[in-house]
């Protein structure tokens, strides 16, 4: 029988790519999203690309009763929980909203799942839970901490999941700690569509390249890194999505909480990214060096060995593909998702 997966936040950037790969792998997909940071057009395009149907519910996960009704309509094999707010700066301005949305939503979801005896759960965590790591590469057993309210929501949710798994041994939970997701589907039809000024490096660079913004501000060139700029582990969103498909395929073999880094294991600096993007897009990317961004760390990259061992997953797409696919999406959709014709 076809397994049905509930994808929360499935209209968003990583969620939409994961829905596509889930459909291609033969799963049935139901999405719950309040569309606070996304457009239904992403899922329409996934349907077009796969020629398959996605059942969509416009529901806010903080609304317990509406979420319960979704579970009345379906029996899910497992839940992939992407939904959440993710802007670090905003989280420091309105922390209560972040705690209510991210943690409140997750508690509702876990309660509804428990009530429906659905106990397989894949969670979008983040490398941000490593805080300022003592060294790189980072393995899953590094100490965790948080430097901002967004990061704390991820850290608290991880702790809540560990508590729940201790209280009820039937839960099978996979915590996926993403490093820096970038890129887009090869078709150029779905990709990242940030609202307003992008916080993240890659969408900012691509908006400069396409002429939507004048220049990139490089946040500091005095870090203790080879060229002085920040180093991160950028991972193609399709590789990331593939790890979610493998997680739901293998989740029955896991007990309790399984924590996995999702990264490539390679660090790339801001200036290396600018140069590589200019080469890949054949556009120039103007930039200026400005002060460090508060809370930023010098370098962060993964040791991804455990994901290979446990999930049989490793990142296959390199920097060139990340840039080529970002650029195809950005140049085909300079305004992001617009309503379909
Ligand atoms: P996104 O904003 O594109 O997707 C999140 C989706 O959740 C959006 O469609 C939004 O409308 C929805 N949503 C938010 N709050 C909701 C609520 N209360 N009820 C229902 N829907 C809600 O973000 P993304 O980049 O696809 O990230 C997905 C997940 O991965 C998030 O949990 C994020 O914190 C995590 N993550 C992202 C990154 C990154 O750099 N993109 C890195 C690490 C972890
Ligand atoms: N960065 C930058 N200018 C920007 C956005 C980001 O110089 O407009 C730098 C940032 O300081 C970090 C790297 O790019 O070194 C990645 O930043 P991003 O916000 O994408 O990811 P995170 O810092 O959360 O890992």
Nearest CA to ligand 2 atom 3: 218
Residue 338: per-residue pLDDT? 74
Q: For ligand 2, atom 21, which residue shows the shortest CA distance?
A: 200
Residue 6 buriedness (CB in 10 A; 0-12 / 13-18 / 19+): buried
Q: What is the pLDDT of residue 1?
A: 85
Three-point CA angle 126, 200, 282, nearest 5°: 130
Q: Are 175 and 160 in contact (CB under 8 A)?
A: no
For residue 71, what are its two tokens? 């579970």
Structure tokens at 167: 């209280």
Look at the block and give the residue holding tokens 């990142």.
315
Judge contact between 178 and 301, C-beta under 8 A.
Answer: no
In the chain, which stretches have pLDDT less than 50?
340-341
Which ligand places an atom closest to the C-alpha of 292?
Answer: 2
- Expressed in angstroms and rounded, the spacing between residue 201 Cα and the centre of ligand 2 is 5
Q: What is the DSSP string of 75-90?
A: --SEEEE--S---HHH
What ligand is nearest to the CA atom of residue 82? 1
CB atoms within 10 A of CB 151: 22
Tokens coding 196: 């307003």
What pLDDT sits at residue 265?
Answer: 98
Known catalytic residue at 150:
yes
Q: What local confidence, expressed as pLDDT, does residue 60 receive?
A: 98
CA–centroid distance, residue 243 to ligand 2 (Å): 24
Whole-angstrom distance, CA of residue 44 vs CA of residue 81: 20
For ligand 1, atom 4: residue with the closest CA: 12
For residue 182, the ligand closest to its alpha carbon is 1
Ligand 1 centroid–CA 284 distance in Å is 30
Ligand 2 within 6 A of CB of 219: yes
DSSP-derived secondary structure for 191-230: ----SSS--SHHHHHHHHHTTSSS-EEEE-S-SSSTTSS-
Domains of the chain with CATH codes: 4-182+234-263+302-316 (3.40.50.720)
- Note the pLDDT of residue 341: 40
Task: List the residue whose alpha carbon is closest to atom 3 of ligand 1.
Answer: 12
Q: Which of 13, 98, 150, 234 is catalytic?
A: 150
Is the model's pTM score more than 0.95? yes
User: What is the Å distance from ligand 2's center to 200 Cα?
Assistant: 5
């Amino acid at each position: 029988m076809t397994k049905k997966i509930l994808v929360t936040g499935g209209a968003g950037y990583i969620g939409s790519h994961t829905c596509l790969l889930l459909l291609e792998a033969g799963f049935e997909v139901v999405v719950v999203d309040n569309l606070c940071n996304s457009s239904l057009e992403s899922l329409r395009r996934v349907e077009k690309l796969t020629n398959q149907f996605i059942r969509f519910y416009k529901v806010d996960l903080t609304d317990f009763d509406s979420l319960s009704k979704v579970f009345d309509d379906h029996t899910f094999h497992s839940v992939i929980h992407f939904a959440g707010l993710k802007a670090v700066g905003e989280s420091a301005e309105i922390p209560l909203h972040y705690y209510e949305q991210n943690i409140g939503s997750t508690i509702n979801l876990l309660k509804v799942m428990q009530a429906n005896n659905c106990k397989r759960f894949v969670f979008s965590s983040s490398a941000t839970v490593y805080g300022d790591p003592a060294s790189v590469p980072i393995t899953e057993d590094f100490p965790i901490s948080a430097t901002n309210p967004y990061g704390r929501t991820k850290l608290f949710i991880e702790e809540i999941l560990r508590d729940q798994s201790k209280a009820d041994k039937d839960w099978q939970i996979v915590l996926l700690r993403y490093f820096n997701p970038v890129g887009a589907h090869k078709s150029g039809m779905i990709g990242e569509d940030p609202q307003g000024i992008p916080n993240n490096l890659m969408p900012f660079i691509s908006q400069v390249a396409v002429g939507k913004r004048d220049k990139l501000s490089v946040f500091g060139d005095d870090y203790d890194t080879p060229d002085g700029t920040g180093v991160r582990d950028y991972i193609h969103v399709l590789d990331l999505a593939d790890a979610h498909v493998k997680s739901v395929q293998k989740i029955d073999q896991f007990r309790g909480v399984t924590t996995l880094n999702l990264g490539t294991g390679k660090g790339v600096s801001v200036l290396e990214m600018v140069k590589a993007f200019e080469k890949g897009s054949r556009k120039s990317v103007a930039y200026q060096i400005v002060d460090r961004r508060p809370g930023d760390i010098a370098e962060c990259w993964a040791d991804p060995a455990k994901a290979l061992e446990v999930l049989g997953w490793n990142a296959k797409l390199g920097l060139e593909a990340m840039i080529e696919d970002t650029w195809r999406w950005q140049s085909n959709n300079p305004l992001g998702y617009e309503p379909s014709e």
